[in-house]
Amino acid sequence: MEKRIRVLVAKPGLDGHDRGAKVVARALRDAGFEVIYTGLRQTPEQIAEASLQEDVNVVAMSLLSGAHNTLFPKVVNLLKEKGMNDVLVVGGGVIPDADIPGLKQAGVAEVFTPGTPTANIVDFIKSNVK
Amino acid sequence: MDIAGELLAGSRLALSRAITAVENEYDEAVSIMQRLYSHTGKAHVIGITGPPGAGKSTLTDKLAKAYRQQGKTVGIVAVDPTSPFSGGAILGDRIRMNELTLDEGVFIRSMGTRGSLGGLSRKTAEVVRILDAFGKDVVFVETVGVGQSEVDVIKAADTTVVVLVPGQGDDIQAIKAGILEIGDIFAINKADRDGVDRLATELEMMLDLNQNEVDWRPPIERTVASQGSGIAELLTTIDGHICFLSQSGHLTRRRTDRTRNELLALIEEHIGRYVLQQLSSWGQLDTLVSRIEKREKDPYTTVSELLHMYLRY
């Protein structure tokens, strides 16, 4: 039996800045994860459905446009509706500190803001993935 | 969760979990496949292969949409390379297929090669079978970007489409063995670029030299997948191939060959695993290796003794 951590890296929202997401995707690959990279401007519905089809353990979303309070919780809820109850959802991007507690309450396990070393993200996933 | 039962009842979550179980070789994988096997054999499996950047994903996306317009359901298995160093992978084929994600008649699954070198992963053929059992009418298998010798796709596909782009080598490339031999159909993608006529001529010349399979000469189609041009023609050609396969008896023959190969591979895998388990549980493996290293014994005699001991051979 050969379990491998699968992570969907997605960019919800309308901003076109995916450099951060690509850096994270690469770091996760180098950590031995299988990274499904879905690219820019994904709707929450697309992210949740792709997560189901790919049976991922982790959904990692990057967002820089300020819509995180709407879009991150929406993905969390859609995943639950689809029966994906054991998925670890993490977020990153330009996210004000004041918004982080609310996001965590909504089911986002952790939020990584600019300047986070990629090793921290890898470690967090390794210790929290179900 | 009764994965196989729920899958057969149409649950996409169960389908996804079944694929994971098989890919990761979970204990329940065998029982799932046992339940599903009798529901397989109905899908038309189309292999899409070709060098990196030829446009395989974009072409698959467009073909899938065309099949959807005909009302057919579609499964897609897209394989990308696993890093030999970290074991990780970036699976990026979905980027070209995002518009299909919310179509309930389509199911896309990305796989890493996980050490296999033939263009697919070791479990790809079984994943195709799961999608077949789920009831998909058409299943696409998109290989990693291939060079010359990654030809495993023919073990999984009924119809293999080799996607090429102009400007990637001279006519010697066309007479080499390997992926150019496995095409049932050739698609010259990015056909709005220079060198299309030359590539088509070289392929035709290569096909002129083919001695076997005279009853099907692989057609050459020109496409510009990003703009959707040539897709309808390619689709007609693919459908023509499946018609030819079933009418000529080739489909039965190909599938019989495949069933035989799969059975043999499964026997090999299970016997190998059994013997390895026995050896490891007794801690014999290291002893045997060191005796062979010291030339006290040779590996050939060792193997025949092991076969005798474990399989009464």
The tokens for A61 are 């979303």
The CATH number linked to A122 is 3.40.50.280
Find the angle CA(A129)-CA(B2)-CA(B4) to the nearest 5 degrees: 100
The residue of B73, B74, B76, B94 whose CB has the most chain A CBs within 10 angstroms, and thus the best one to mutate to test that interface, is: B94
Is A57 among the domain residues? yes
For A80-128, the three-class secondary structure string (H helix, E strand, C coil) is: HHCCCCCCEEEEEECCCHHHHHHHHHCCCCEEECCCCCHHHHHHHHHHH
pLDDT at B32: 96
Is A120 among the domain residues? yes
What confidence tens digit (pLDDT) does each residue in B112-148 have? 999 888 889 889 999 999 999 999 999 999 998 887 7
Q: Cβ of B89 under 8 Å from any chain A Cβ?
A: yes
For residues B247 and A105, what is the distance between their CA atoms, to the nearest angstrom?
61
pLDDT at B214: 67
- Which of B20, B90, B95 lies nearest to residue A35, judging by beta carbons? B90
For B25-65, the three-class secondary structure string (H helix, E strand, C coil) is: CCCCHHHHHHHHHHHCCCCEEEEEECCCCCCHHHHHHHHHH
pLDDT at B309: 86
Residues of A whose CB is below 8 A from B73: none
Q: Cβ of B95 under 8 Å from any chain A Cβ?
A: yes
Q: Cβ of B131 under 8 Å from any chain A Cβ?
A: no
- Which of A4, A35, A52 lies nearest to residue B13, judging by beta carbons? A52
For residues B275 and B254, what is the distance between their CA atoms, to the nearest angstrom?
31
The residue of B1, B20, B85 whose CB has the most chain A CBs within 10 angstroms, and thus the best one to mutate to test that interface, is: B20
How far is Cα of residue B143 from the mean position of the Cα atoms in its chain? 6
Average pLDDT score over chain B: 91
Q: Cβ of B90 under 8 Å from any chain A Cβ?
A: yes
pLDDT at A70: 93
Is the CB of residue A13 less than 8 Å from the CB of residue A93?
A: no
Does residue A13 sit in helix, strand or coil? coil
B 5-44 residues with CB below 8 A of A? 12-13, 16-17, 19-20, 24-27
CB contact under 8 A, A39 and B91: no
Residue stretches of chain B with pLDDT short of 50: none
Residues of B whose CB is below 8 A from A33: 88
Question: How many beta-carbon pairs below 8 A join chains A and B?
Answer: 85
Is the CB of residue B49 less than 8 Å from the CB of residue B79?
A: no
pLDDT at B90: 92
Number of domains in chain A: 1
- Domains of chain B in start order, with CATH, are 1-38 (no CATH), 40-248 (3.40.50.300), 260-311 (no CATH)
CB contact under 8 A, B13 and A42: no
pLDDT at B173: 64
Residue of B nearest to A45 (CA): B102
Residue stretches of chain A with pLDDT short of 50: 1
Q: Which residues lie closer than 8 Å to B28 by C-beta, 6 or more apart?
A: B3, B21
Is A77 among the domain residues? yes
CB contact under 8 A, A25 and B90: yes
Residues of A whose CB is below 8 A from B87: 4, 32
The tokens for B178 are 């390997």
- Which of A35, A50, A55 lies nearest to residue B88, judging by beta carbons? A35
> Which range of residues forms the domain containing residue A88?
6-128
User: Which chain A residues have any C-beta within 8 angstroms of a chain B C-beta?
Assistant: 1-4, 25-26, 28-39, 42, 45-46, 49-50, 52-55, 82-84
Q: What share of chain B is helix, strand, coil (3-state, %, to 5)?
A: 50, 15, 35
Is the CB of residue B202 less than 8 Å from the CB of residue B186?
A: no
| Cβ neighbours of A10 (radius 10 Å) | 29
CA dihedral (B51, B54, B58, B59) positive or negative? negative
CA distance B178 to chain A (A): 29
pLDDT at B212: 67
Is A1 among the domain residues? no
